[in-house]
Structure 1
Amino acid sequence: MAGQAPYEAIRLIELGRGLTLGSLGEMRTDVSQLQDKFPELWSRYEELRDQLAMPAVFGQFEENQRLEASSQLDKTIQEIRGLPGFDRFLLAPSDDDLKKAAAHGPIVIINVHDYRCDALIIENHEIRSLALTDLQHSDIQTREAMLGGQLDRESLGWLWGTIANPILTSLGLTRNVGENEPRLWWVPTGALAKFPIHAAGEYDEDCSNSVLDWVISSYRLSVQMLLRTRQYQQKSMAPGTLNITVLVGMEMTPGFNNLQFAKQEIEEVERLCLSKGRVVKKPLPY
């Protein structure tokens, strides 16, 4: 992807993730919406797709059938994309869609490769790339092999120096911005998905400087998934929908350390939910 525009790089990453994550709901959501609004066209699409999914049988007649089914499927998909609201059917998000996804805070896709490592930054007004010159794919692989326990200060400092600090500095998020901390969505790729970027920082005895000090972090497997979540939230907040939030605080889990602040965190989330008019459900005490 070297030398290509940031949007094109993101499009290719999203396309690749769509192929591997489609069974988790990305493409399935598009198809379910088609089924709800245009059932006859959905039925035709499903039939043609199933024909092509069947094991190939060698023979001229069967080969011609598959070619015809493939041609008809392409035409059907183009017909679907001509319908209102389906212009991006089974496609990666458009440039405008990506910017809309960053309406509540920037999205950062971290792409790692032997050749180079970059942060693809999506904001509501632009999409750009930032070269992470101190981040090496080989270092990620070495540190990945060391994962399994609690990361030490040196590892969290490495995450801060090579990834988090350059990105936050580029976004202007390493300074006080008021009472409410900004949101930031991380989309790490490859082995980097195993690392706690949200906890990256310099933790010295005298002072600390970390991601936790500057932003509220969230993670997504893809930008497409973030867009789907937003669409679902809009539907769930529509008049007549049941706004229920289930809160479960696991203070004690066999085989793991106790979470001493789980109860307080649940109480704070409950307070926030109630202020938004949501109904809160919690397990009965035992």
Structure 2
Amino acid sequence: MAKKTKQIAIYGKGGIGKSTTTSNISAALAEAGYKVMQFGCDPKADSTNTLRGGDYIPTVLDLLHANSSVDAHDAIFKGFGGIYCVEAGGPQPGVGCAGRGIISAVQLLKQQDIFEELDLDFVIFDVLGDVVCGGFAVPVREGIAEHVFTISSSDFMAIYAANNLFRGIQTYSNKGGALLGGVIANSINTDFHHEIIDDFVGRTATQVVEYVPRSVTVTQAELSGRTTIEAAPKSEQASIYRRLATRIAEHTQSKVPTPLGQQELREWSASWADRLIEAENQRERAIQVA
């Protein structure tokens, strides 16, 4: 009997560090001996760059546009640690649906039984999470991914995008959709970053999987076209990514979150703004007294 491939979707708003985090998770899993495929679902087709020395690869949509029939193997490229890299791609700007590449790519690989043929342990879908609709919702809506994780900082727009994802998961949960594994808290460098994220996950009945600090080590690695796992394997940041990868690998129980309503989210955000202003005022008064 063939082993069961664990399929995971990682969502997050653009610029939140989603592809950076996903690629380091993939690299850590490959380093641990697992067979991994990273499936980029962003129209920019840059999810797998740091797994391949900064190189771009042809996308599934590129191949489908150029050929009447496509062998799925032509869309799969090897990266660091033997990771299989696939980019769904997207349409030309202003033309077509950005989610179409995801739909086409998933269909192509499934029709040709690629996951089974490669005997994969993990398929990790790296999905743009600003808008959870159309093709971007496929890993959740169709239950392709077993577990969904979202990457969020303590910034309002990142939390807003995470809350929207929670609403999508809740909508599809009664129709066989994927469930939420938790939040990967990114760029967490201060106590109030921790407190905001902890409060949000508490109110939405989910959990933080790992706190990932902002680090110049990550920037240095990316500028060289590599993951932190490859470029700085002995760094503290690499250790954090390995711990995160282990937690995702061992994760088994996902659930339906309880997203905040739009007005509730705005009121929650405003209350945190007031708290931070008061904290800053207290700090300034303490300085004046001293």
- Pairwise same-fold verdict (TM > 0.5): no
Q: Point out which structure has higher relative CO (alpha carbons under 8 A, 6+ apart).
A: 2
Instruction: State the structure with more CA Rg.
Output: 1
Q: TM-score, normalised by structure 1?
A: 0.26
